[in-house]
Chain A
Amino acid sequence: MNGPDQLLQNTGRLRTAMGECFPGTHTIFRGHDLHRELLEMDWVGLYVFGITGRKLTDAQVRVLHAIWVCTSYPDTRLWNNRVAALAASARSSANLGIVAGLALSEATTYGGQAGMRSLHFLIETQRRVRDGADLEQVVLEEKAARRIYGYGRPINSIDERLPWIMQVAANFGLDQGTHVRLAHAVEAILQPRYPKLRMNYAALHAALIADMGLSVREYQMLRVPTFLAGMPPCVADAAAKPEGTLFPTPCAAIAYEGQDHRTWPR
């Protein structure tokens, strides 16, 4: 069945196993009574369960917490944080500002899409090596063909977050997973040839999450709150200052590089 017949069959109703709320009584969450069965779950654990239908181990959930804590930077200059703070300075809603900041965070130079592409590269590379390909050849071919996401970082190639998160992963016995070891091996191949392509946070946290068995699209949902905790301090700060005073731009701070003044053709 397809086309209008398929649309008609779905009109007005949703057939799903995911959940339903029964106001006044209870709510079903992926086959479980949310209040009776899941109330004691860690929120991040519940979040992953919602995405995948799988319950991670306590150690995996603790590492996810650490991944997010480790990259919660309350620096208003960062583009996504800046959006949240600008909303506050413009006296918009904090919710709107933070949600817009999160939307921006699915970026290609950092954040969501960089992480997705890094995860995709690691999963594909692992698959090819498992099928018999030579890792060095795979990596160098990939580098020749395109940018390898997860390696290299603007401003400073050293990613200060890596040793911290590796220590947490080691504490929970998750530092020797297949993809984590692969991520380090890729760096070892790139480094002699491309000294600036050191592993960055995208690769390491993608590797940790790949070792948890998440797919790229599952990761896309998982990573939504990654930068969230860094935003409220920026918002609170801007909200406490006089309105409109965050990064105000005088006319002279616009460098116009376009057409000379000309007459509008009436």
Chain B
Amino acid sequence: MSDIDKADVVHTRIWQEEPEPENAFATRAAFCRGYDVYGQMLGSARWIDMLLLLLRDELPPPSQRDALETLAVALANPGPRDPSVHAAMCGGVGGSAMAAALMAALAVGAGRNGGARDVRDAMEAWAQCGPEYRAWCERAAPQRRDPLEAFPDPQHVAGFDPNGTVLPTIVRQLLAAIDRGTNTPRIAWLRANLDDLCARIGLPLTHSGVAAALFADLGLAPAEGELLFLLLRLPGAGAHALEQQQHGYRRFPFYQIDLTSEPRA
């Protein structure tokens, strides 16, 4: 340590590594928030435990972790109709690198229309509105973001589908599957008041809204929820990209353009 400039040190509460005696770059033991990852956690901790431990010193109760794991199963594949998965498939059919396909899925899936920013917005709405009809309804008008953000301003109530007209059955099933009663109070409230709330907002709840409610129930910050939503939806994007890579571009939509501008003479 003596020859390392203090300014060149990474500070972290998350991770600690002890080196092998003969190599400062080889890890003898790794600790996540104090737990021996390779000595104790492997074979005992669940993937979802590790995800949460990376964000918090202490794990939430088992019932909340179960709920998150259930949500993770649902989010793992948004399906090939989802724009983020479509973006990844564009990488597959063109022979792009797998990292490029996932970067494409992240870029498209980051947005405010059902993407990770929508989750972040909805978590901020939970912080402001809580389980109050009136507060949620007052958010029905799109709100300008201040300060200006890289993402365009919201155009609908976060967590609800701006193009939806009916509540999809799978959203109702998802809510039921992750409801842990008093340990997931926002989910329980949503589930109990779902039809009334959707009617008052004028739009159906969507996956991003369910995810935001559960993330808030777990005590996560909006930025943490945004991050988890991005991470948890990547497996499906990658799998569909690989599948389309095998199919090739000839079996992938190229669509039709109706060009409304004529070349000038």
Contacts and interface: CB of A to CB of B under 8 A. Distances in A.
Interface of A: 2-4, 6-7, 12-20, 26, 28, 30-33, 36-37, 92-93, 95-96, 99-100, 103, 106, 112-113, 116-117, 120, 146, 216-217, 220, 248-264, 266
B261 A255 contact: no
24 contacts: A3-B163, A3-B164, A3-B165, A14-B258, A17-B259, A19-B259, A20-B257, A26-B263, A28-B263, A30-B261, A31-B263, A32-B263, A96-B100, A113-B150, A146-B147, A217-B152, A220-B150, A250-B4, A254-B10, A257-B13, A258-B14, A258-B16, A258-B34, A262-B35
B169 interface: no
The main secondary structure of chain A at its interface with chain B is mixed
A264 B40 contact: yes
Contacts of B258: 13-16
B61 interface: no
B19 A250 contact: yes
Contacts of A3: 163-165
Taking each of B10, B16, B27, B253, which has the highest tally of chain A beta carbons within 10 Å of its own beta carbon? B16
B35 to A, nearest CB: 5
B22 interface: no
Given A249-B25, A258-B57, A259-B33, 4 more contacts: A13-B258, A19-B259, A20-B257, A252-B24
Contacts of A14: 255-258
Contacts of B259: 16-17, 19-20, 28
A117 B164 CA distance: 33
A28 B18 CA distance: 60
Nearest to B59: A265
B148 interface: yes
Contacts of B73: none
Contacts of A20: 257, 259
Contacts of B103: 96, 99-100, 103
Nearest to A96: B99
Given A28-B263, A261-B36, A252 B4 contact: yes
Contact of B44 (A256, A262, A264): A264
Nearest to A93: B97
Contact of A252 (B1, B45, B164, B255): B1
A253 B258 CA distance: 58
Most chain B beta-carbon contacts within 10 A, residue among A100, A120, A216, A261 = A261
A222 B192 CA distance: 48
A67 B58 CA distance: 49
Nearest to A14: B257
B260 A16 contact: yes
Interface residues of B, number: 51
Interface of B: 1, 4, 8-19, 24-25, 27, 31, 33-36, 40-41, 44-45, 57, 97, 99-100, 103, 107, 147-150, 152, 163-165, 253, 255-264
A160 B263 CA distance: 45
B4 to A, nearest CB: 5
Contacts of B34: 258-262
Given A12-B253, A116-B148, A264-B36, A253 B262 contact: no
Nearest to A92: B99
B147 A254 contact: no
Contact of B9 (A4, A254, A264): A254
B257 A253 contact: no
Nearest to A252: B1
A116 B150 contact: yes
A90 to B, nearest CB: 11
A266 to B, nearest CB: 5
A201 to B, nearest CB: 18
B256 A253 contact: no
A33 to B, nearest CB: 5
B255 A37 contact: no
Contact of B19 (A17, A251, A255, A259): A251
Given A251-B25, A259-B33, A17 B16 contact: no
Contact of A28 (B107, B164, B261): B261
A3 B20 CA distance: 60
Nearest to A119: B148
A117 B147 contact: yes
Contacts of A37: 263-264
B192 to A, nearest CB: 26
Nearest to B165: A3
A217 to B, nearest CB: 8
B36 A259 contact: no
Contact of A261 (B31, B45, B260): B31
A253 to B, nearest CB: 5
B255 to A, nearest CB: 6
